Amino acid sequence: MHSQWRHKALCLSFVLLSSGVLAQGDYRAPRTEYGHPDLQGVWTNAANTSLQRSEELGNKRSYTLAEAMELENGARQQEYENSLPLEADREAPEAGGRIGQEADFNFVGTRTTIAQYDGEYRTSLIVKPDNGRWPFVEDYRSKDHWGQHAARGLDSYDGIEGRPSGERCLDRGLLTSIVRRVPYNANYQFVQNENYVVILAELIHDARIIRLDSEYIPGDYNHWHGDSIGHWEGDTLVVETRNFRPEQSSGFIRMTDAMKTTEWFTRVSDDTIQYAYELEDPNIYTETVRVEIPLKLRPAEDRIYEYACHEGNYSQAYILAGARQQDVDASQKGND
């Protein structure tokens, strides 16, 4: 039964893949009342494809259909196993072992689909460089906001400025987190009119406003998600962004305030936007990084609800008080 089901799944996926490629070439996106391609709706970038490619895959850009189906079947099996009740008589965790957020991630579900872009099942979302990996400059960790913070002799618990913005529930990274895989709440609502496109991220409730056919303001200050200027090239929305706050650098995407991004949004079917972006930051990367991510339309009845996150922000006083107590304890121990 298993082999028969797998064969049917492979055949069905091949038909869907082939028909999708053919449909995209003739597809014309619906229009807004202003004549622009209509990108409105709630979209998700959830997929079981990592941003950076595994080293053992080398320059292998895509999986075969059989490889992709095997990976998806494995992910579905893992999701099923995660849903099973825990054994009541299971052994206690190993003494001194680290307990993480496994239960949380099991609750939100496993990503089961391999990202499909331009008819390929991608091995990574990064497609440039060819090895699908970050092209970091030497000692890049010391060059962003947090590296410079440490170079000044400051600990991450010396002041509120040392705590990451994500922990403080202020934002969740570069460009409303749409540029990377997030473990949960990977949904984004697009709203547009004649002069603006707004992208609301479910995670940390960020709303990013893209001004169409506008100009950068001379001497402008840095913004949490940069200053975004968009224009239409045929059916593709092109967005160029600069003036980022350097505190947005993170373990997900390293950056400085020299970061510049270019994005492309093209609706290629009723339920798919081909989204691509390029990152330029000579302080961090030796070359331009290009990432390609499919965005899939959520059903019309799906809604984004409020993401109420203030735990880290409200607990800053306790976090820093604990660090000061550790300082006192260490000082007293040194005097003994």
C-beta atoms surrounding 40 within 10 Å: 15
Query: CA dist 36 to 46, 160, 194, 276, 294, Å?
Result: 26, 44, 8, 19, 20
Between 171 and 313, the higher pLDDT residue: 171
pLDDT given for residue 122 in this prediction = 97
Share of the chain above pLDDT 90, in %: 50
pLDDT given for residue 78 in this prediction = 87
pLDDT given for residue 312 in this prediction = 65
User: Considering the entire predicted model, what is its pTM?
Assistant: 0.83
* Angle at which helices 65-83 and 2-26 cross, to 10°: 120
pLDDT confidence band for 79 (50 / 70 / 90): confident
Q: Give the 3-state secondary structure of 81-94.
A: HHHCCCCCCCCCCC
pLDDT confidence band for 336 (50 / 70 / 90): low
Q: Residue 224 — φ and ψ, nearest 5°?
A: -60, -40
Query: CA dist 148 to 168, 230, 250, 258, 320, Å?
Result: 20, 32, 13, 14, 20
Q: What is the pLDDT of residues 248-263, one digit of tens each?
A: 888 889 999 999 999 9
pLDDT confidence band for 21 (50 / 70 / 90): very low
pLDDT given for residue 110 in this prediction = 67
Instruction: Pick from 177-191, 206-220, 268-282 the range whose average pLDDT is largest.
Output: 268-282
pLDDT confidence band for 24 (50 / 70 / 90): low
Burial class (CB in 10 A: 0-12, 13-18, 19+), 253: buried
* Chain Cα centroid distance, residue 95: 34
pLDDT given for residue 6 in this prediction = 41
pLDDT given for residue 109 in this prediction = 63
pLDDT given for residue 20 in this prediction = 40
Token code pair at residue 103:
């239960």
Give the chain's mean pLDDT: 85
DSSP line for 126-168: EEESTT-S--BPTTGGGTSHHHHHHHTT--TTSSGGGS-TTTT
Query: Average pLDDT for residues 160-188, to the nearest whole number?
Result: 79
Burial class (CB in 10 A: 0-12, 13-18, 19+), 270: exposed
Q: Which amino acid is at 259?
A: M
Q: Is residue 54 predicted with pLDDT exceeding 60?
A: yes
Query: Average pLDDT for residues 148-157, to the nearest whole number?
Result: 86
Token code pair at residue 307:
């993401």
Token code pair at residue 146:
């947090």
Burial class (CB in 10 A: 0-12, 13-18, 19+), 36: middle
Residue ranges covered by each domain of the chain = 2-86+99-313
